[in-house]
Amino acid sequence: MGDFPFYWVQLADFNAEQPQPGESAWAELREAQTMTMKALPNTGEAVIIDIGEGKDIHPKNKLDVGKRLARWALADTYKVPGIPAHSPIYKGMEKQANKIVLAFEHVDGGWRPFDVNELVGFTIAGADHTFVHAKGTILPDGRIEISAEGVADPVAVRYGWADNPKCNMYSGLGLPLTPFRTDDFKGVTAEAN
């Protein structure tokens, strides 16, 4: 059939919200889905971290899921100009003393934290690999600075890294930030058969 496009929906938020950061097989599966876009050409992912339901693995809000998939077809397959399809995605990090500064791609229209001005969903860890809730600041150039009290020498940041994370970052055009981690620490699915 040739190099036809293939688009999918990233796993939604599901299961109980946890009060403290931790490991998550569900987050690792989301990460694997996102990694597929780099590995395979002509693919796209509709991020729906904001649409899921803790008690139902199949979100009832199919309309917004369909709209996000439609963006991919219109922008990527049919080349309709002016339609952003790609959710913001982590690009790289730079350590600056007790902070980590994150860079992103596809932040069309700048950042728009939802509901509150605080950036919700970021965690940070030092050399002990213990993640804690972090404070974020949007810099004038669009990068995001992350830090936390008690983490003087940070090594890694995560966003939306849970089965059912509380997170609120969107591009100015309304697409949610893709959950990510800056680290390559051994995950809970590393030894799964």
**Torsions phi, psi of 59, nearest 5?**
-55, 140
Give residue 140's region: left, alpha or beta (phi > 0; psi -120 to 50). Answer: alpha
Do 93 and 158 share a domain, yes or no?
yes
Band (pLDDT 50/70/90 cuts) for residue 193 is: low
Instruction: Give residue 3's pLDDT.
Output: 84
**pLDDT tens-place string over residues 37-90:** 999 999 999 999 999 999 999 999 999 999 999 999 999 999 999 999 999 999
> Facing residues of 157 across strands?
124
Judge whether 82 lies within some domain.
Answer: no
Give the range of the structural domain holding residue 175, as residue numbers without chain letter: 89-181
Whether the per-residue pLDDT at 192 is higher than 80: the answer is no
Rounded Cα distance between 138 and 159, Å, is 14
Share of the chain above pLDDT 90, in %: 92
Rounded Cα distance between 96 and 145, Å, is 9
Do 40 and 115 share a domain, yes or no?
no
Do 94 and 168 share a domain, yes or no?
yes
Mean pLDDT of the chain: 95
**Torsions phi, psi of 188, nearest 5?**
-75, -20
Amino acid, res. 166 = K
Average of pLDDT values for 86-114? Answer: 97
**pLDDT tens-place string over residues 110-146:** 999 999 999 999 999 999 999 999 999 999 999 999 9
Judge whether 186 lies within some domain.
Answer: no
Judge whether 94 lies within some domain.
Answer: yes
Instruction: Give residue 119's pLDDT.
Output: 98
Counted domains in the chain: 2
**pLDDT tens-place string over residues 106-117:** 999 999 999 999
Do 105 and 160 share a domain, yes or no?
yes
Instruction: Give residue 110's pLDDT.
Output: 96
Amino acid, res. 139 = L
Q: What is the 3-state secondary structure (H, E, C) of the chain?
A: CCCCCEEEECCCCCCCCCCCCCCCHHHHHHHHHHHHHHHCCCEEEECCCCCCECCECCCCCHHHHHHHHHHHHHHHHCCCCCCCCCCCEEEEEEEECCEEEEEEECCCCCEEECCCCCCCCEEEECCCCCEEECEEEECCCCCEEEECCCCCCCCEEEECCCCCCCCCEEECCCCECCCEECCCCCCCCCCCC
